[in-house]
A and B are shown apart, each in its own frame.
Chain A
Amino acid sequence: MTTATTHPAAPGTRPAPPGAATIGRARIGLELRLFARDSGQVVFSFAYPVVMLLIFASVFGDQEVSPGVGFDRYFLAGIAATGIMLTSFQAVGIAIAEERDRGDLGRLQVLGTPPAAYAIGKAGQVLVTTVVQLAVLLTVAALVYDIPLPTDAGRWLTFAWITLLGALAGTVLGIAVSAFVGSARSAGTGIPAIAVVLQFVSGVFFVYSELPEVMRQVAALFPLKWMTQGMRSVFLPDAAAAAEPAGSWEHPMTAAVLAAWVIIGVVVVVRTFRWRRSGG
Chain B
Amino acid sequence: MTTTGPAPLLRGTATDGAPAVRVRGLVKRYGGRAVVDDVDLDVRRGEVFALLGPNGAGKTTTVEILAGLRRRDAGHVAVLGEDPATGDRRWRDRVGVVGQTTGAGDALTVRETVDHYARYHAQPQGSDELLGAVGLEAAARTRVDALSGGQRRRLEVALGVQGRPELLFLDEPTTGLDPAARRQFWTLVEGLREAGTTVLLTTHYLDEAAQLADRVGVIAAGRLVEVAPPDALGAALRREATVRWTEDGAPRSVVTPEPSAVLRDLLAATPSGEIPDLSVTRPHLEDVYLRLVGGTSEGDPR
Binding site for B on A (CB under 8 A): 1-11, 14-18, 22-23, 26, 30, 33-34, 37-38, 99, 102-104, 106-107, 109-114, 276, 280
Minimum Cβ distance to chain A for residue B257 (Å): 43
Chain B stretch 47-91: residues in CB contact (< 8 A) with chain A: 67, 69-71, 80, 88-91
Minimum Cβ distance to chain B for residue A270 (Å): 17
Encode contact with A along B89-124: 1 for CB under 8 Å, 0 otherwise: 111111001010111111110001000110111110
Q: Contacts A8-B13, A110-B102 given: A1-B134 contact, CB under 8 Å?
A: yes
Q: Contacts A30-B116, A34-B107 given: A17-B102 contact, CB under 8 Å?
A: no
Q: Contacts A6-B125, A8-B13, A106-B101 given: A26-B119 contact, CB under 8 Å?
A: yes
What are 30 A-to-B residue pairs whose CB atoms are below 8 Å? A1-B134, A1-B154, A1-B184, A3-B133, A4-B134, A4-B189, A5-B125, A5-B132, A5-B195, A6-B164, A7-B164, A7-B195, A7-B197, A8-B13, A8-B166, A9-B123, A11-B13, A11-B166, A15-B122, A16-B89, A17-B120, A18-B120, A33-B112, A106-B69, A106-B102, A109-B69, A111-B92, A111-B120, A112-B91, A276-B69
Bound CA–CA A7/B133 (angstroms): 12
**Given A1-B135, A5-B132, A9-B94; 10 other pairs, CB 8 A cutoff:** A1-B154, A1-B185, A6-B130, A6-B191, A14-B123, A16-B122, A30-B105, A106-B101, A111-B92, A111-B120
In the complex, which range does the number of interface residues on chain B fall in?
35 or more
B188 within 8 A of A: yes
Q: Which residue in B119, B184, B191 is a CB contact (below 8 Å) of A22?
A: B119
B196 within 8 A of A: yes
Taking a contact as CB atoms under 8 Å apart, the answer to whether B93 and A17 are in contact is yes
Chain B stretch 183-205: residues in CB contact (< 8 A) with chain A: 184-185, 187-189, 191-192, 194-197
